[in-house]
Structure 1
Amino acid sequence: MEKYKKVKREKIIEMDMLRAICAIAVVIIHTSGYTLINSVKGSVSYNVSLSLNQITRFSVPLFLFLSGLGLGISYKRDESYFKFLKKRVFKIIPPYILWGSLYLILIQKNYDYRSWGELFLKGDKVFYHLYYIPLIMTLYIIFPIFYPLFKRIEGVIFCLLISLGATYFGHYYNIPDLTLDIFSKRNAIFWNVYFVSGVYISRKVNNLIRRTKTHKVKIMIILIICVICLIGESFIGLKSGKSLDYSTTFIRPSVMIYSYIVMLYVFSKSYRKSIGVKILREISKSSFSIYLIHPMVLYYYMKIFSKNNLNMGTLWFLVSSILVSTGIPYLLWNIKDKFDKLSYVSNE
């Protein structure tokens, strides 16, 4: 018999808030990255975009954490393996194939369809952000097999040692321009602890949320310290001659610690009915679409700037690109959602 009762996922507003914040954070990482490389080093826009780029580095780690948390809450032990895969993995394949094909045709201009299979298996070879899809599918595939281990603290510790060891070695002993495929962001060894810790916490998530709300101030202070250290680490790395990618990457031990503190901070907040909470709920529901589509929107938005000789290294570009790259994917999702509901009603 399970020691902890299953929790109802739909009642955990903190999960929705965290998912929405992660979706916005992913957009900020990509928009700030382009602002950064187009701005003058040391300028206000350079410093702001670099700082924002680092502050939002919790996004993908906590997306994985939420995936593990959601699966742990909803998983039924008596469900067959292939039924589980059909519900989870095959749900994300159609939009992945659709949008991946559009990236290859419209942006990459790759019409060698015979090579597409290998590209889709890697994800980031289709477009830079799509490494996440093969990564999450890998974790979904192994989840039912290793669930008995993932729900135990020993499993979390084991995965922590793997992820932390790989991250430490990959960051501090990997030459920045090393091209070995093992150092690819899609390699699950760097990320598995986020997913597995989510699975483990799923059995006691309500208790965790209650406890964080009694330590709001402490968590906030720790978060501020982490933000200062994370931003400082990047500036120091760049000043010492390290590359931009090396100094800002997800794959750093400091990002691992910071991500969990952000999760605790979001869980510690109280969310009453307000316009802000309503907006975040909507973004949460459309988060997968925002993740898939926003780089395409950003690509064409940048083309408009380039065609009109507008400067992309400004705060105006940073703010406007965040709004456009979040808003248009949300509108597309909203249109599709309404169409699906109308189709469902008409078939009743």
Structure 2
Amino acid sequence: MATRIDSVDTVRLLAITGIIAIHSGPFRNHGFEATDEYQLGGVLFNQLARFAVPFFFIISGYFFGYKVRTGANHFDIASKTCKRIISLYLIWSLIYLLPYNVSSLFIDGSDGPFSLANQQFNLLLEEPSRIIFVGAKGHLWFLSSLILCTAIAAFLLRYRQTGLLIALAIGCYVVGVLAKAYEATPIGIELDFNTRNGPFFGLIYFVTGYLLSGVNNREKWFSYGLILLLVGGGLGLVESSYLHREYGASPYPDFVFATVIFGLGSALMSLSNHPLLCNRKLATIGQMTLGIYALHYMVIDLLKPLDIAFNHPLWEVGYVFVVLLMSIGASKLLLAFPRTKKLVA
């Protein structure tokens, strides 16, 4: 199978839109009155977008597995992949340490951009672990986690420890969920470390992708995926709502146990190559996901004054697509120059 699948690239676009929705926080603007309707809208937007991060991990694991199963060496693939991701992680961390946020001039005055950059730099100094696991901006945790997941999987698979890898992935996920969404429950655990970072959540999805790469019969993957997507999304809403109502947990959890089903459903649909998902125009934009991902938080920061000023439901929904379109435009601009192309491709 070719390494470029239109249906995967189409879902990549949908997934990055979901990530933008999570980070831009529709209906969670502090300017809104905290009515039940707005809170419900915020929860729905947040939770229905939670397939996105698992999808990206699963697809990464799938293509890693595809290369391995076609004869490539585990360590060679992992080394090449990790070097590339580490480079992106470091470069974008440095970029996000720059005083780029000129919109803060309208909020914090003339020294706003430099003040925010200094705060971010001091945060890294105060919490050195962030340098490794998060970087200079919160969304970069994904790159760090993907590096660790790739390295762990390559090592254990190279020595034929697939069972151990699966067990480790499941164990990490259980610990991760119990220490985050379930922390306040009787079965929850308290950790000083944020289990969103590292391999706690990413590994199970990466391993799932690897296992999917060994399955040849994809005839019914679209149907199976759609069922899992609906079931996982619904269960995730119920699970997060229950934890919030009964134990005061955040209504916007990163991951719950049902998120596994949700993410798997989206991945199966994307890998099915179903005609409904094979939209060439959308797939072409989906190939720009890396650039959109790297740039979108910068756009969110720059548009923050507008987000504060516009307290209207139409803006809350439209804001997501404004950020998406601006991120696509900025990514295209960087792709046009050889020296910046490597930052987004």
Aligned amino acid, residue 232 of structure 2: C
Task: Say whether the 8 Å CA contact 1:8–1:73 is kept in structure 2.
Answer: no
Aligned to 2:42: 49
Q: How far apart in 2 are the matches of 1:332 and 1:201?
A: 34
2:117 aligned to 109, 112, 122, which one?
Answer: 109
Q: 2:209 aligns with which of 195, 198, 207?
A: 198
Alignment of 1:78-97 (within 5 A): 79=73, 81=75, 83-85=76-78, 87-97=80-90
Q: Select the structure that is richer in helix.
A: 1
CA contact (8 A) 1:156 1:200 kept: no
1:187-226 equivalences under 5 Å are 187-204=198-215, 206-207=216-217, 209-213=218-222, 216=223, 220-226=226-232
CA contact (8 A) 1:23 1:283 kept: no
Structure 1 residues 241, 144: closer, same or farther in 2, change over 3 A?
Answer: closer
- C-alpha deviation, 1:57, in angstroms: 0.6
What is the deviation of 1:173?
Answer: 5.0
Secondary structure of 2:175 counterpart: helix
Residues 27 and 41 of structure 2 are in contact (CA less than 8 Å); yes or no, is this contact kept in structure 1?
no
Select the residue among 311, 326, 338 that pairs with 1:340. Answer: 338
Give the residue type in structure 2 aligned to 1:130: L
For residues 78-97 of structure 1, give each alpha carbon's deviation from its aligned partner in whole angstroms, at most 9, with x where no partner exists: 5484x545531222333333
- CA 1:8–1:156 in 2, change beyond 3 Å: closer, same or farther? farther
Q: Secondary structure at the match of 1:26?
A: helix
Asked if 1:318 is matched to 2:337, the reply is: no
Aligned residues of 2:29 and 2:307 also touching (Cα < 8 A): no
Q: Does residue 1:235 correspond to 2:241, yes or no?
A: yes
Distance across 2 between alignment mates of 1:104 and 1:178: 33
Change over 3 Å in CA distance of 1:323–1:114 after alignment to 2: closer
Gap change, CA 1:336 and 1:173, over 3 Å in 2: closer
SS state of the match for residue 193, structure 2?
helix
Which amino acid letter does the alignment assign opposite residue 158 of structure 1?
A: A
Alignment-derived partner of residue 110 in structure 2: none
The answer to whether the aligner puts 1:186 opposite 2:201 as a matched pair is no
Q: Deviations over 1:235-288 (max 9, x none)?
A: 3443446143xx3212311212222123334445722697xx234213321111
- Identity value in percent: 17
Q: 1:51 to 1:173 in 2, by over 3 A?
A: closer
Q: CA deviation at 1:195?
A: 0.3
Other-structure match for 2:66:
73
Deviation at 1:301, TM superposition (A): 0.8
Amino acid at match of 1:234: S
Equivalent residue number for residue 107 of structure 2: none
RMSD (Å) for aligned C-alpha atoms: 3.5
Verify the 8 A CA contact 1:96 1:133 in the aligned structure 2: yes
> Distance in 2 between the 1:133 and 1:92 partners?
6
Equivalent AA in structure 2 for residue 135 of structure 1: S
Equivalence for 1:130 = 140
Q: 1:295 aligns with which of 294, 297, 300?
A: 297
Distance in 2 separating the partners of 1:100 and 1:343: 17
Given residue 338 of structure 1, which amino acid in structure 2 is its aligned partner? A
Q: Which runs of 5+ in 2 are unaligned?
A: 102-115
Q: Structure 1 residues 33, 101: CA separation in 2 closer, same or farther (over 3 Å shift)?
A: farther
State the match for 2:167 in structure 1. 158
Q: Deviations over 1:314-341 (max 9, x none)?
A: 3223222211221222222212223239
Question: Counterparts of 1:226 and 1:67 in 2: how far apart (Å)?
Answer: 21
Measured after TM superposition, the shift of residue 112 of structure 1 is 5.8
Q: Which runs of 4+ in 1 moved over 6 A?
A: 176-179, 341-344
User: C-alpha separation between the residues in 2 aligned to 1:20 and 1:181?
Assistant: 34
Which amino acid in 2 is paired with 1:298?
I
- In structure 2, distance between residues paired with 1:32 and 1:57: 13
Checking the alignment, whether the CA contact within 8 Å between 1:230 and 1:254 is kept in structure 2 is: yes
Q: TM-score, normalised by structure 2?
A: 0.78
Question: Per-residue deviation at 1:60?
Answer: 1.0
Distance change >3 Å, CA 178–CA 229, structure 1 → 2: closer
Q: Which sits farther off after the overlay, 226-235 or 315-324?
A: 226-235
CA contact (8 A) 2:153 2:165 kept: no
Unpaired stretches in structure 1, ≥5 consecutive residues: 1-6
How many residues of Structure 1 are paired with residues of Structure 2 in the alignment?
A: 321
Length-normalised TM-score, structure 1: 0.77
Instruction: Indicate conservation of the 8 Å contact 1:36/1:50, yes or no.
Output: no
